[in-house]
Amino acid sequence: MATWTRTWPFHLMVWPALLFLIVFNYVPMAGIVMAFMDYKPWLGFTGSPWIGLDHFRALFERDDSIQVIWNTLVISVLKIVFNLIVPFTFAILLNEVRKRLLSRTIQTLVYLPHFLSWVILGGILVNFLSTDGGFANRVLGFFGLGPVFFLGDGNWFRVTVVVSEVWKEFGYGTIVFIAALANINPSLYEAAEVDGASRWKQTLHITIPSLLPMAIVVGTLSLGNILNAGFDQIFNLYNSLVYDKGDIIDTFVYRTAIIDGDFGFATAVGLFKSVISMLLIIVAYRLAYKLANYRVF
């Protein structure tokens, strides 16, 4: 009783967040039953007929759904790879900047895009990459190239999506590597310098090996999000011209449910993604523990 007397304010603080979680994350899970029904909104859950696993069979039989899964994997894997390589490399380069003010200024500038929503950045990119007077195509035209339909050609769309995602997030992703750099024992560098090792040799034999465990953790945990290719970004940038190369699971579910009204099939696709993602997260955490001794609890 004495413990409750001391901790009740903390329990009270948790309740709004817990209520929010229950209302928006757990209550909607009742709608999972639509994945096994030929759901019609005017018939409701009780009147719509049960069709078993028909939607899941269709998921692996329809050409468009198979293409969507493939698009998601391609875009997501590219994002994971470059969102690991670029922050890793940038953190090492930033570590070599000796002027603290310059280093802090660069860090602040590269962090800023992370805090902008894709609604804002999407509008900027549409204008920046436009074939009708967009800055990027003006520059290409100056060199006698282009115009390039960045957001209308499927292959260029994938490149645009990956590059813009990396540009937006690499500064924020650098934080974990900068923190890992701060934990490197300075005596290692001092000993290497005494032995005559150059800055390149110190980076190659001390900095990079010290960062590899963190890189393994970040890369391994990213596997759990391999089916999340970035709904906000894709939704604000894509169009019907790039569905064959740029449509991902989340945008496919949105269009199938909200636009086409096929709620049952859309729910089945979403459930399939959620189950696979959960399994991947479990595997990723197990791998992170085995490879880098990382654990949450």
Q: What is the percentage of the chain residues whose pLDDT exceeds 90?
A: 14
Q: Are 211 and 88 in contact (CB under 8 A)?
A: yes
168 falls in which pLDDT band (50, 70, 90)?
A: very high
* Torsion sign over Cα 67, 73, 76, 77: negative
181 falls in which pLDDT band (50, 70, 90)?
A: confident
pLDDT of residue 20: 92
Is the pLDDT at 162 greater than 90, yes or no?
A: yes
210-236 tens-digit pLDDT: 888 888 888 888 887 888 888 899 999
Is the pLDDT at 290 greater than 70, yes or no?
A: yes
Distance CA 143, CA 59 (A): 46
78 falls in which pLDDT band (50, 70, 90)?
A: very high
- Sequence-ordered alpha helix ranges (H) in the chain: 2-21, 44-47, 54-61, 63-95, 100-111, 118-128, 135-142, 154-182, 186-194, 199-202, 208-222, 231-237, 243-246, 249-254, 263-292
Across 87-106, average pLDDT:
86
Mean pLDDT of the residues in the chain: 86
pLDDT of residue 2: 56
What is the CATH superfamily name and number for domain 47-292? Answer: MetI-like (1.10.3720.10)
pTM, rounded to two decimals:
0.85
Residue type, 134: G
237-263 tens-digit pLDDT: 888 888 888 889 899 989 888 888 888
